[in-house]
Amino acid sequence: MALWKSKLPNVGTTIFTEMSAKAHEFGALNMSQGFPDFNPPRALREMVYQAMMDGHNQYAPMPGNLKLREWIATDVKRRTQHECSPISEITIGAGASSLIFAAIQTLVHSGDEVIVLAPCYDLYEPAVRLAGGGLRVVPLKQDDFHLDLDALGKALSRKTRLIIVNIPNNPTGATWTMDELDDLAALLSDSNALILSDEVYGPMHYDRKPALSILHQHELRERSIVTASFGKILHATGWKIGYLIAPMHWTQEIRKVHQYDVFSTGAPFQEGIARFLASSDGETHLEGLAGFYQEKRDRLLAGLTGSSWSFTPAEAGYFQVLDYSSFDDRDDREVTHNWCAQSKGQGIALIPLSPFYPATDAEQKKPRQVRVCFAKNDTTLDEGIERLLQVPQMK
Ligand code: PMP
Ligand code: GLN
């Protein structure tokens, strides 16, 4: 064992697993890991059940259920006007995670550089490291978590293979504007860098903000790989069905990894989802999604308005960042553990922001911020507000 060297020496258990386990251990209200505490629509559950009863129980095709890929292509065209082929440009995998991972292993060679915009989702860094790539961390703007174009321009080099963006961002809830997408296109016009755009919370945009995808920017389409997840938009994170859209050449390469990694996933889920999305129930569900989550965000923020928490309302997604610097100076990991372990099951589990800042050459960030998941029933949200208002004031 002494000669054996870990490939990921600095990686422990993810903060999401850690905080959900702590919530369970202390009987705390769990608003940490990102999942709803309500079920997917009944019609969808029935259609998945029916798909099983109809015999969709063996391997789905390696690229995914064709009906579902056709729905994705139609949806992409409707949302962005981009035409993509369900045959050669769409692949279904075990959640967006498996495809993000496959894409990074496929595209990044040893010595390539990958740019991430921090704070960012925790999966990117270890995937880049396993591929032998080097990470360049570009901070998002401090005030609104939007793109810092100058900083990105400075980090860009001939070695840059991939830029990973997350529209909208987990944890910050910030999204992109069309001007920012245009700026990115202009910045990259002479570069060979590809873009991996992680869009798992895609349609959930609030206050009438357009639900932009990287595919809305025509010049970026050729160099962009997009990932998305049915887990988020159908309230079914446990089903782990996600998809990837990429130009044919990149799809062919990414499928070489996907076919030996995940290969094929959840046949009855794929079939049931395809049936649901083609139905009027599916249409109604998607049409109502942004409004449904906006109400939840607003309920949470109304409950905290006037308190010692400070925040900028999330523009999209299902997370809200809350700042506690006005009443506590302690480190974000320490406070989240402390608040989770409050006596007699009165605690609340939240996610500290620091795990979203990759260690590599980033400034040592000491956020006094936590992330709360508002994909919860109103009773959970109300209980969450109560507990957030009761955390100890240390100043
Ligand atoms: N990207 C982001 C930004 C996420 O928040 C998550 C987790 N929900 C994923 C990817 C992974 O999605 P999935 O559960 O479909 O693998
Ligand atoms: N994406 C989810 C979150 O941000 C967690 C998924 C996971 O636990 N890996 O909370």
Closest residue (by CA) to atom 15 of ligand 1? 95
Cβ 200 under 6 angstroms from ligand 1: yes
**Are 190 and 334 in a shared domain?**
no
Q: Which of 224, 247, 278 is the last residue of a domain?
A: 278
Of the bound ligands, which one is closest to the alpha carbon of residue 199? 1
Show which of 256, 278, 300 is a domain's final residue. 278
Longest Cα separation, the chain: 62
In this structure, are 57 and 180 located in the same domain?
yes
Task: Choose among 17, 104, 101, 126: nearest CA to 358.
Answer: 126
Give the nearest ligand 2 atom to 20 CA: 8
Mean pLDDT of all residues belonging to the chain: 96
Instruction: Mark which of 278, 301, 318 sits at the end of a domain.
Output: 278
Q: Is the CB of 33 under 6 A from ligand 2?
A: yes
Residues 290 and 238 grouped into a single domain: no
* Residue-level pLDDT at 345: 83
34 C-beta closer than 6 A to ligand 2: yes
Which residue's alpha carbon is nearest to atom 12 within ligand 1?
A: 96
Least-confidence region, from 184-193, 323-332, 342-351: 342-351
Q: For the chain, give percent helix, strand, coil, nearest 5.
A: 45, 15, 40
Are residues 47 and 26 both part of a single domain? Answer: no
Residue 9 lies in a domain: no
Evaluate the omega torsion of the peptide bond into residue 352 and state whether it is cis, within 30 degrees of 0. no
Q: What is the CA radius of gyration of the chain?
A: 21
33: CA distance to ligand 2 center in Å? 5
Looking at residue 364, its pLDDT comes to: 62
pLDDT digits (tens, 9 = 90+) for 27-84: 999 999 999 999 999 999 999 999 999 999 999 999 999 999 999 999 999 999 999 9
Could you tell me the distance, in angstroms and rounded to a whole number, from the CA of residue 244 to the centre of ligand 2? 18
Kindly report the pTM of this predicted structure.
Answer: 0.97
Rounded Cα–Cα distance for residues 346 and 348 (Å): 7
CATH number at residue 207: 3.40.640.10
Residue 267, pLDDT > 60, answer yes
Same-domain check for residues 104 and 22: no
* Contacts of 139 by beta carbon, 8 Å cutoff, 6+ apart: 117, 118, 148, 151, 362, 363
pLDDT at 366: 83
Regarding whether 163 and 48 lie in a shared domain, the answer is yes
**Which ligand neighbours the alpha carbon of 373 most closely?**
2
Centroid of ligand 2 to alpha carbon of 237 (angstroms)? 9
Q: Are residues 205 and 347 in the same domain?
A: no
Read off the pLDDT band of 361 (50, 70, 90).
Answer: very low
**pLDDT at residue 10, rounded to an integer:** 86
Q: What is the CATH number of the domain that holds 20?
A: 3.90.1150.10
Interatomic CA distance for residues 72 and 249, integer angstroms = 19
Contact 348, 384 (CB under 8 A): yes
Protein residue closest via CA to atom 4 of ligand 2: 34
- Same-domain status, 247 and 370: no
Q: How many domains does the chain have?
A: 2
Examine the domain organization and report whether 28 and 124 are in the same domain: no
Q: What is the 122 CA–ligand 1 centroid distance (Å)? A: 10
Q: Is the CB of 14 under 6 A from ligand 2?
A: yes
Predicted confidence (pLDDT) at residue 363 exceeds the cutoff of 60: no
Chain segment 294-321, per-residue pLDDT in tens: 999 999 999 999 999 999 999 999 999 9
In this predicted structure, what is the pLDDT of residue 1? 62
CA 148 to CA 142: how far, in whole Å?
9
Ligand 2 centroid to Cα of residue 395, in Å, is: 32
> Phi, psi at residue 262, to the nearest 5°?
-90, -40
| 96 alpha carbon – ligand 1 mean position (Å) | 6
Any ligand 1 atom below 6 A from CB of 34: yes
Measured CA to CA in angstroms, residue 72 lies from 59, 79, 139 at distances of: 20, 10, 32
Q: Are 332 and 184 contained in the same domain?
A: no
Q: Which atom of ligand 1 is nearest to the CA of 198?
A: 1
Looking at all shown ligands, the one closest to residue 351's CA atom is: 2
Q: Token pair for residue 159?
A: 């070695």
- How many other CB atoms are there within 10 angstroms of residue 345's CB atom? 9
Q: Which residues contact 355 (CB under 8 A, 6 or more apart)?
A: 14, 15, 122
Same domain, 184 and 293: no
Interval between CA 253 and ligand 1 midpoint (Å)? 22
Identify the domain containing residue 60 by its residue range: 42-278
Number of the ligand 1 atom closest to the C-alpha atom of 230: 15
Instruction: Give, in order, the Cα–Cα distances in Å from 35 to each of 101, 271, 324, 335, 372.
Output: 21, 22, 23, 22, 11
pLDDT tens column, 369-382: 999 999 999 999 99
In angstroms, rounded to a whole number, what is the distance separating the alpha carbons of residues 167 and 165? 6
- Ligand 1: residue of 97, 241, 269 to mutate (most ligand atoms within 8 A of CB) is 97
